[in-house]
């Protein structure tokens, strides 16, 4: 993929020259406003009982999760990826303590914090700004779609306006943002998905993650899938749509993910998505067939820096 998309692997090589850097998925013991009753108890329809976090190490202390990965990979440095649940959903002192539990290790060279747009109050933004001044920091912000009907279908319980507001506040503080998007939301047309990419291009995040809409054990989507109510994309459709979107994505934006990456034991459907390598090969093959590459059809900007410090265009 590297030559046709601006991949995260290529970004890491440039950002940490001469070092092997990987992400450690961390379950830091947070909950989520969409599951703890702050906004709702049932969560987003696609969310599994581990809230996207690691399964094998769920419930371990942060220190133990980090130390296990460091022991297994001598010579590798790591970005601690606070992945499970909503990793800014706690008072500032508690956030600081948990982030520091990972950052305290010299081989942890950065922090990625997954959160929701409505979970970034001013004290948390100030803490993240402070951390961005002393380590590599990226905030992974769930958007999924700019369309309100899709956000409602996904049961996100935030609006696109809330996302834009959080994004602007993060960028104003010089904090890099990676935007999560879902491909294959029922009812979304090709035009709807292209509109989401155009909006992302205008915002100029540091990165995006593309997620195929898929079914995980214990999610609301499992029940809908079992009732036969859930249309899912075939591999050829996903690859075709994804290439269409990649060709319209600003080439300065780093692509962090293109294929499903979840434990097989949690995964239900579509079955083809479990073969991540085959999906990536198919995307590369389709881009090659089209003579395509990231940004070929983007009206926006020229290639920007890998970590874009420009102000968003609103
Ligand atoms: S997907 Fe994220 S925001 Fe939605 S319920 Fe799960 S942890 Fe919360």
Per-residue model confidence as pLDDT tens digits over 87-114:
999 999 999 999 999 999 999 999 999 9
How high is the pLDDT of residue 191?
A: 97
**Distance between Cα 66 and ligand 1 center (Å):** 23
How high is the pLDDT of residue 312?
A: 37
Query: Is the per-residue pLDDT at 69 higher than 60?
Result: yes
How many angstroms separate the CA atoms of 312 and 314, rounded? 6
Query: Is the per-residue pLDDT at 306 higher than 90?
Result: no
> Is the beta carbon of 85 within 6 A of some atom in ligand 1?
yes
DSSP label of 2 = T
Q: What is the number of H-type helices and E-type strands within the chain?
A: 10, 9
The domains located in the chain, with CATH, are 8-290 (3.20.20.70)
Helix (H) or strand (E) holding 24: strand 20-26
**Distance between Cα 156 and ligand 1 center (Å):** 8
Q: For atom 5 of ligand 1, which residue has the closest CA? A: 43
> Is the beta carbon of 157 within 6 A of some atom in ligand 1?
no
Q: What is the pLDDT of residues 159-203, one digit of tens each?
A: 999 999 999 999 999 999 999 999 999 999 999 999 999 999 999
DSSP label of 303 = P
> Is the beta carbon of 116 within 6 A of some atom in ligand 1?
yes
How high is the pLDDT of residue 3?
A: 81
User: Confidence band (pLDDT; 50, 70, 90) for 309?
Assistant: very low
Q: For atom 2 of ligand 1, which residue has the closest CA? A: 85
Closest Cα partner for 88 from 110, 113, 66?
113
Q: For atom 4 of ligand 1, which residue has the closest CA? A: 44
Q: What is the pLDDT of residues 114-167, one digit of tens each?
A: 999 999 999 999 999 999 999 999 999 999 999 999 999 999 999 999 999 999
> Is the beta carbon of 47 within 6 A of some atom in ligand 1?
yes
Query: Is the per-residue pLDDT at 58 higher than 90?
Result: no
């Amino acid at each position: 993929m590297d030559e046709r998309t601006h991949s995260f692997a290529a970004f890491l090589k440039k950002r940490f020259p001469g070092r092997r850097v990987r992400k450690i998925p961390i379950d830091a013991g947070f909950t989520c406003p969409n599951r703890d009753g702050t906004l709702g108890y049932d969560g987003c329809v696609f969310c599994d009982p581990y809230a996207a976090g690691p399964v094998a190490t769920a419930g371990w202390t942060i220190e133990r999760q980090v130390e296990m990965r460091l022991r297994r990979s001598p010579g590798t440095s790591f970005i601690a990826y606070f992945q499970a649940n909503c990793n800014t959903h706690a008072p500032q002192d508690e956030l600081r303590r948990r982030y520091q539990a990972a950052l305290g290790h010299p081989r942890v060279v950065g922090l990625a914090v997954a959160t929701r747009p409505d979970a970034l109050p001013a004290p948390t933004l100030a803490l993240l700004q402070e951390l961005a001044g002393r380590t590599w920091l990226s905030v992974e912000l769930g958007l999924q779609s700019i369309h309100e009907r899709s956000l409602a279908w996904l049961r996100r319980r935030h609006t696109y306006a809330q996302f834009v507001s959080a994004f602007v506040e993060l960028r104003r503080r010089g904090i890099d943002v990676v935007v999560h998007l879902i491909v294959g939301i029922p009812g979304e047309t090709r035009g709807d998905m292209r509109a989401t990419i155009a909006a992302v291009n205008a915002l100029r995040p540091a990165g995006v993650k593309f997620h195929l809409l898929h079914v995980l054990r214990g999610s609301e989507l499992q029940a809908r899938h079992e009732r036969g109510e859930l249309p899912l994309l075939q591999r050829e459709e996903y690859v075709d749509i994804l290439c269409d979107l990649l060709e319209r994505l600003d080439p300065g934006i780093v692509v962090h993910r293109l294929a499903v990456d979840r434990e097989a034991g949690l995964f239900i459907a579509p079955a083809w998505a479990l073969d991540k390598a085959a999906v990536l090969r198919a995307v590369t093959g389709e881009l090659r067939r089209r003579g395509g590459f990231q940004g070929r059809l983007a009206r926006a900007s020229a290639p920007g820096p890998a970590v874009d410090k420009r102000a968003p265009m609103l």
